[in-house]
Chains A and B, each alone.
Chain A
Amino acid sequence: MSRLLDRNREIGAFVPQQDDDLIICRCEEITKGEIRRAVHEGMWTLTEVKRFLRAGMGLCQGQTCGRLVKGIVAKELGVRPSELEDTTARCPTRPVEMQVFGNEVHGHE
Chain B
Amino acid sequence: MKRYELIVIGAGPAGLSAAVEAANAGMSVAVFDENARPGGQLFKQIHKFFGSKEHQAKIRGFRIGQQLLKQAEESGVEVHLNSVVMGIFDLGEITVQHGDGVCHYKGDSILIATGACENMVPFDGWTLPGVMGAGAAQTMMNLHGVQPGSRVLMVGSGNVGLVVSFQLLQAGVEVAAVIDAAPQIGGYGVHAAKLARIGVPFYLSHTIVKAEGTDHVTGAVIAQVDESFRPIAGTEKHLDVDTVCIAVGLSPMSQLARMAGCEMTEKGGAVPVVDEYGQTSIPGLFVAGDVGGIEEASSAMIGGRIAGAAAARRSGYLPEEEFREKASALKASLGQLHEGMFSPKNKGRRDLTVTDEGYLLSKTLLHHGYLSEEEVAGFPGAAPGKSAGIHPVIECTQNIPCNPCQDACRFGCIRVGDHMTALPAVAENARCVGCGMCVASCPGQAIFLVNDEEEAGTATVTLPYEFLPVPEKGAKGVALGRDGRVVCPAEVVEAKTAGFMDGTVLLTMRVPLEMSMKARFFKTGEGTK
Say whether A108 faces chain B, with CB atoms less than 8 Å apart.
yes
Q: How far is the CA of A19 from the CA of B210 in the complex (A)?
A: 11
Say whether B290 faces chain A, with CB atoms less than 8 Å apart.
no
Q: Is the CB of A67 within 8 A of B87?
A: no
Question: Which residues of chain B come closer than 8 Å to A92, judged between CB atoms?
Answer: 84, 86-87, 95, 97
Those of A42-70 within 8 Å (CB) of chain B: 63-65, 67-68
Q: How far is the CA of A88 from the CA of B260 in the complex (A)?
A: 11
Q: Is the CB of A91 within 8 A of B259?
A: yes
* With known contacts A89-B259, A93-B85, A23–B102 Cβ distance under 8 A: no
Say whether A22 faces chain B, with CB atoms less than 8 Å apart.
yes
Q: Is the CB of A89 within 8 A of B100?
A: no
Q: Mark interface residues in B261-281 (1 if CB within 8 Å of A CB, else 0).
A: 000001001100000000000
Say whether B124 faces chain A, with CB atoms less than 8 Å apart.
yes
Those of A89-103 within 8 Å (CB) of chain B: 89-94, 96, 99-103
Say whether A105 faces chain B, with CB atoms less than 8 Å apart.
yes
Q: How far is the CA of A24 from the CA of B84 in the complex (A)?
A: 26
Q: Mark interface residues in A72-107 (1 if CB within 8 Å of B CB, else 0).
A: 000000000010001011111110100111111100
Q: How far is the CA of A82 from the CA of B95 in the complex (A)?
A: 29
Q: Is the CB of B126 within 8 A of A23?
A: yes
Partner of A24, one of B95, B97, B122: B122
Partner of A93, one of B80, B84, B89, B103: B84
Say whether A40 faces chain B, with CB atoms less than 8 Å apart.
no
Q: How far is the CA of A22 from the CA of B119 in the complex (A)?
A: 16
* With known contacts A26-B127, A96-B86, A105–B103 Cβ distance under 8 A: yes
Binding site of A, secondary structure by majority: helix, strand, loop or mixed? loop
Question: Closest Cβ of chain B: how far from A61's Cβ, in Å?
Answer: 9
* With known contacts A67-B269, A94-B84, A103-B101, A89–B258 Cβ distance under 8 A: yes
Q: Mark interface residues in B231-259 (1 if CB within 8 Å of A CB, else 0).
A: 00000000000000000000100011011
Q: Which residue of A lies closest to B95 (CB)?
A: A91
Q: Is the CB of A101 within 8 A of B102?
A: yes
* With known contacts A86-B258, A86-B270, A89-B258, A96–B97 Cβ distance under 8 A: yes
Q: Is the CB of A100 within 8 A of B124?
A: no
Say whether B120 faces chain A, with CB atoms less than 8 Å apart.
yes
* With known contacts A26-B127, A89-B256, A93-B255, A100–B120 Cβ distance under 8 A: no
Q: Is the CB of A91 within 8 A of B120?
A: no
Question: Which residues of chain B come closer than 8 Å to A96, judged between CB atoms?
Answer: 84, 86, 97, 102
Q: Is the CB of A94 within 8 A of B119?
A: no
Question: Which residues of chain B come closer than 8 Å to A37, judged between CB atoms?
Answer: none
Q: How far is the CA of A63 from the CA of B133 in the complex (A)?
A: 13
Q: Is the CB of A104 within 8 A of B2?
A: no
Q: Mark interface residues in B445-487 (1 if CB within 8 Å of A CB, else 0).
A: 0000000000000000000000000000000000000000000
Q: How far is the CA of A8 from the CA of B126 in the complex (A)?
A: 37
Question: Which residues of chain A come closer than 8 Å to B221, judged between CB atoms?
Answer: none
Say whether A32 faces chain B, with CB atoms less than 8 Å apart.
yes
Question: Which residues of chain A come closer than 8 Å to B437, judged between CB atoms?
Answer: none
Question: Which residues of chain A come closer than 8 Å to B251, judged between CB atoms?
Answer: 67
Which residues of A are at the interface with B, using a C-beta cutoff of 8 A? 19, 22-24, 26, 32, 63-65, 67-68, 82, 86, 88-94, 96, 99-105, 108-109
Closest CB pairs A-B (n = 3): A91-B87, A105-B101, A92-B86
Say whether B408 faces chain A, with CB atoms less than 8 Å apart.
no
Q: Is the CB of B266 within 8 A of A82?
A: yes
* With known contacts A23-B122, A103-B102, A108–B269 Cβ distance under 8 A: no
Question: Closest Cβ of chain A: how far from B197's Cβ, in Å?
Answer: 35
Question: Closest Cβ of chain A: how far from B348's Cβ, in Å?
Answer: 15
A90-B259, A101-B97 given; 11 more Cβ-contact pairs under 8 Å:
A22-B123, A63-B117, A64-B120, A68-B120, A88-B258, A93-B86, A96-B84, A99-B100, A103-B101, A104-B102, A105-B103
Q: Is the CB of B100 within 8 A of A22?
A: no
Question: Closest Cβ of chain B: how far from A10's Cβ, in Å?
Answer: 24
Question: Closest Cβ of chain B: how far from A33's Cβ, in Å?
Answer: 12
Q: Which residue of B lies closest to A65 (CB)?
A: B120
Q: Mark interface residues in B95-122 (1 if CB within 8 Å of A CB, else 0).
A: 1011011111000000000000101101
Q: Mark interface residues in B369-384 (1 if CB within 8 Å of A CB, else 0).
A: 0000000000000000
Q: How far is the CA of A19 from the CA of B348 in the complex (A)?
A: 27
Question: Which residues of chain B come closer than 8 Å to A24, judged between CB atoms?
Answer: 122
Q: Which residue of A lies closest to B105 (CB)?
A: A108
8 pairs, A vs B, C-beta closer than 8 Å: A22-B122, A23-B126, A23-B127, A67-B251, A86-B258, A90-B87, A94-B84, A102-B102
Say whether B33 faces chain A, with CB atoms less than 8 Å apart.
no
Q: Which residue of A lies closest to B256 (CB)?
A: A93
Question: Closest Cβ of chain A: how far from B347's Cβ, in Å?
Answer: 16
Question: Closest Cβ of chain B: how far from A39's Cβ, in Å?
Answer: 17
Say whether B180 faces chain A, with CB atoms less than 8 Å apart.
no
Q: How far is the CA of A19 from the CA of B228 in the complex (A)?
A: 16
Q: How far is the CA of A100 from the CA of B86 in the complex (A)?
A: 12
Q: Which residue of B lies closest to A82 (CB)?
A: B266
Question: Closest Cβ of chain A: how far from B217's Cβ, in Å?
Answer: 15
Q: How far is the CA of A100 from the CA of B82 in the complex (A)?
A: 14
* With known contacts A23-B127, A67-B119, A68-B122, A100–B97 Cβ distance under 8 A: yes
Say whether B34 faces chain A, with CB atoms less than 8 Å apart.
yes
